[in-house]
């Protein structure tokens, strides 16, 4: 059986934040038609993929999936359970935005089968939240996490963004301090990325916003690693940190190069050495699923070389490159080609060999992209 993750994209949103480049729509006219299309797409792909797969995680992302009622998500979970073999202990995550849920609604989500909540807080500084055009304030963010804990969720995560314009080290450290004081087991910390097509990108191009430089970004990242390590969080991927036993199964499916099936608008899938992407437009997506059972807008058969590159990149960005597994999957040519550089990176303390794995050190994580570019 092939361990497989499932992602569900819920595009509906109350408001588009200035930095967001994920597909979302600010209306609810097609929620019922969208639900039926997602269920139909799941059932259709199950005919091809269900026979030899075990579902280890289900992740609802968006958009703002927490805007939906529990019954809406429950129908999708039931459709997956009907068509696929799902692990009894499968991780089922719901991305949640503060201000979209009450304690009662969170309890409903728990009863619907959700067992992990990931809260998009981004900052505990109200001025930063206004800049990011988030719909919540710091007080609401904290209440959402306490409400989720009281509703019975132990597996709680939050997202933060660092290197915002004018963000001092003191302000960022305060964000981290407020985070670890909350009942969370997992934290994702992302550097502010300028994505084409976003409102923020236009603001920067127009000179209305100035981003801080890469050296300052690296300093904030180093601060993050040191602070979270000192507070009981282990880094298991470039941007993700967890208490023992609470690494995100869904994240690890991506980082460990496991296969995943994704449903809904703009969703990407990877299975049987092939990658495909759905239409972004909700209207195109619904029409395509109703006509042919899927909404694939493009697909690509991956070469052995592409899969090797992706495998190495993902492994080094996370738990480390298992050399025995690498040789079993792809042979020994890659290691032989890069052996001199690998030894140099070990000497310079950017890589560390441990139990037949090559893992990045904290210093290595800070220049991860630069290292990956050097490897052939």
More confident residue, 338 or 366: 338
pLDDT at 354 over 90: no
* 106 in Cβ contact with 153 (< 8 Å): yes
Q: Tell me, what's the pLDDT at 155?
A: 98
More confident residue, 262 or 166: 262
Based on its alpha-carbon atoms, the radius of gyration of the chain, rounded to whole angstroms, reads 21
205-239 exposure pattern, b = at least 16 Cβ within 10 A, e = fewer:
eeeebeebeeeebebbbeebbebbeeeebebbbbb
Q: What's the CA gap between 349 and 202, in Å, rounded?
A: 39
337: nearest Cα among 347, 326, 348: 326
Q: What's the CA gap between 32 and 16, in Å, rounded?
A: 21
Residue 365: band (very low, low, confident or very high) from pLDDT cuts 50, 70, 90: confident
**Region of poorest pLDDT, from 1-5, 25-29, 42-46, 152-156:** 25-29
Q: How far is CA 35 from CA 76, 127, 144, 373, in A?
A: 8, 36, 26, 41
pLDDT digits 0-9 by tens, 224-249? 999 999 999 999 998 999 999 999 99
The DSSP element (H or E) to which 261 belongs, if any, is: strand 259-263
Angle at 79 (CA atoms; ends 247, 68), nearest 5 degrees: 70
Average pLDDT over residues 318-344: 91
For the domain made up of 2-255, the CATH class stated in words is alpha beta
Q: What's the CA gap between 353 and 359, in Å, rounded?
A: 6
Domain residues of the chain, as ranges? 2-255, 304-374
Residue 18: band (very low, low, confident or very high) from pLDDT cuts 50, 70, 90: low
Q: What's the CA gap between 57 and 6, in Å, rounded?
A: 6
**How many CB atoms are closer than 10 A to CB 255?**
20
73: nearest Cα among 50, 43, 105, 46: 105
The DSSP element (H or E) to which 310 belongs, if any, is: helix 304-316
pLDDT at 204 over 80: no
Q: Tell me, what's the pLDDT at 210?
A: 80
Average pLDDT over residues 249-257: 94
Q: What's the CA gap between 303 and 307, in Å, rounded?
A: 6
User: Whole-prediction pTM value?
Assistant: 0.93
User: Does CATH place domain 304-374 in 1.10.10.920?
Assistant: yes
For the four alpha carbons of 372, 374, 375 and 376, in that order, the dihedral sign comes to: positive
């Amino acid at each position: 059986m092939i361990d497989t993750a499932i992602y569900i994209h819920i595009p509906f949103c109350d408001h588009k934040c200035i930095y967001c480049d994920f597909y979302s729509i600010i209306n609810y006219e097609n929620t019922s038609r969208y639900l039926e299309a997602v269920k139909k797409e799941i059932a259709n792909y199950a005919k091809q993929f269900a026979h030899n797969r075990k579902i280890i995680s289900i992740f609802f992302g968006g958009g703002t999936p927490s805007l939906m009622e529990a019954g809406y998500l429950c129908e999708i979970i039931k459709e997956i359970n009907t068509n696929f073999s799902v692990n009894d202990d499968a991780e089922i995550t719901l991305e949640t935005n503060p201000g979209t849920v009450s304690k009662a609604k969170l309890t409903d989500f728990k009863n619907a089968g959700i067992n992990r909540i990931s809260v998009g807080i981004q900052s505990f500084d109200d001025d930063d939240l206004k800049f990011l055009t988030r719909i919540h304030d710091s007080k609401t963010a904290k209440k959402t996490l306490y409400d989720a804990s009281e509703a019975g969720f132990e597996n709680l995560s939050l997202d933060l963004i660092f290197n915002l314009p004018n963000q001092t080290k003191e302000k960022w450290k305060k964000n981290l301090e407020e985070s670890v004081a909350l009942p969370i087991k997992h934290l994702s910390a992302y550097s502010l990325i300028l994505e084409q097509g976003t409102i923020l990108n236009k603001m920067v191009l127009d000179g209305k916003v100035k981003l801080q430089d890469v050296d300052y970004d690296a300093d904030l990242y180093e601060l993050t690693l040191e602070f979270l390590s000192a507070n009981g969080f282990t880094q298991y991927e470039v941007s993700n940190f967890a208490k023992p036993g609470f690494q995100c199964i869904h994240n690890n499916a991506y980082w460990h190069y496991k296969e995943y099936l994704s449903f809904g608008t703009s969703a990407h899938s990877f299975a049987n050495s092939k990658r495909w992407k759905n239409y972004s437009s909700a209207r195109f997506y619904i029409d395509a699923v109703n006509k042919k059972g899927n909404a694939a807008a493009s697909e690509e058969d991956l070469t052995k070389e592409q899969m090797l590159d992706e495998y190495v990149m993902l492994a080094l960005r996370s738990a480390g490159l298992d050399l025995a597994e690498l040789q079993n999957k792809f042979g020994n040519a890659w290691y032989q080609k890069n052996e001199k550089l690998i030894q140099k990176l070990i000497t310079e303390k950017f890589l560390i060999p441990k139990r037949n794995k090559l893992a990045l050190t904290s210093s290595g994580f800070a220049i991860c992209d630069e290292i990956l570019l050097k490897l052939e």
